[in-house]
Amino acid sequence: MLNTRGNKLTWLGHATFKITTPGGKVILIDPWVNGNPACPKAAKKLERVDTILITHGHGDHIGDAVKIAKKFKTQVISIYETSLWLASKGVKNATGMGKGGTIQSGEIEVTMVNALHSNGIEDGKKIVYGGEPCGYIVRLPSGLKIYHAGDTSVFGDMKLIGELYEPEVAMLPIGDYYTMGPREAAMAIRLLNVKHVVPIHYGTFPALTGTPDALKKLTQDISGLEIHALKPGESIG
């Protein structure tokens, strides 16, 4: 069991997470909500959003960021170049940062970490340079530390992320094709030395073939590991 200490972590399908703090603040990571075929209808209705974190500018991640940010006057955190694009689309509180940096957003603390992927933003017929893709370590008010890896392959510095930030739970892509599959994610879990894992970025499209069962088989020797295979709309905490 993961003790979320009053925080609620809800998977909206694909890479989208909604985090509700004990004080009722709402954080969205990779807000692909309306167009997300995996997101249950009931979960698409948002009452407030205080902070948005963007791992990269692909449509299945940056999704509804502009719309939601305008509606709720949300602070949107991303890598610098992506924040310039968000600002150009009318997002008033677009905060650009860089990897290794930590910033405060309301009651949460956000550290940007590396990810191995790409980050062009499709803007009409153009592809805009969005800077590099990233992942996030988020420290929630009760001290719960989570790692959202974004879209990434496994990389050796996940060991460094584990040692330096000691996340208690990791959201890791397992779908294969565009990101890690179960084989790479199993290695990521060993490098991070994390005991709670939520598999993400699988099952949304036929191409994303990785499954939580395959990941479980490859990690059954890791003592104390819990793979939380949520259904879209389900929560931990």
Interface positions with Ni ion (CB under 5 A): 58, 151
- CA 225 – CA 228 distance, rounded (Å): 10
Residues 47-76 that bind Mn ion (CB under 5 A): 60
Looking at the Cβ atoms of 149 and 236, the one nearer to Ni ion is 149
Tell me, by CB under 5 A, how many residues bind Mn ion. 2
Least CB distance to Mn ion at residue 59 (A): 8
Looking at the Cβ atoms of 192 and 200, the one nearer to Mn ion is 200
Least CB distance to Ni ion at residue 225 (A): 26
Least CB distance to Mn ion at residue 208 (A): 9
Looking at the Cβ atoms of 50 and 60, the one nearer to Mn ion is 60
Binding mask 135-174 toward Mn ion (x if CB under 5 A, else -) reads: ----------------x-----------------------
Binding mask 104-123 toward Mn ion (x if CB under 5 A, else -) reads: --------------------
The DSSP code sequence of the chain is: ----TT-EEEE-STT-EEEE-TT--EEEES---TT-TTS-GGGG--S---EEE-S--SHHHHTTHHHHHHHHT-EEEEEHHHHHHHHHTT-TTEEEE-TT-EEEETTEEEEEEE--S--EEEETTEEEE----EEEEEE-TTS-EEEE--S----TTHHHHHHHH--SEEEEE---SSS--HHHHHHHHHHHT-SEEEEES-SSSTT----HHHHHHHTTTSTT-EE--PPTT-EE-
Q: What residue 196 binds from Ni ion, Mn ion, none (CB within 5 to 8 A, per partner kind)?
A: none
Looking at the Cβ atoms of 142 and 209, the one nearer to Mn ion is 209
Looking at the Cβ atoms of 136 and 139, the one nearer to Mn ion is 136
Interacting residues with Mn ion (CB under 5 A): 60, 151
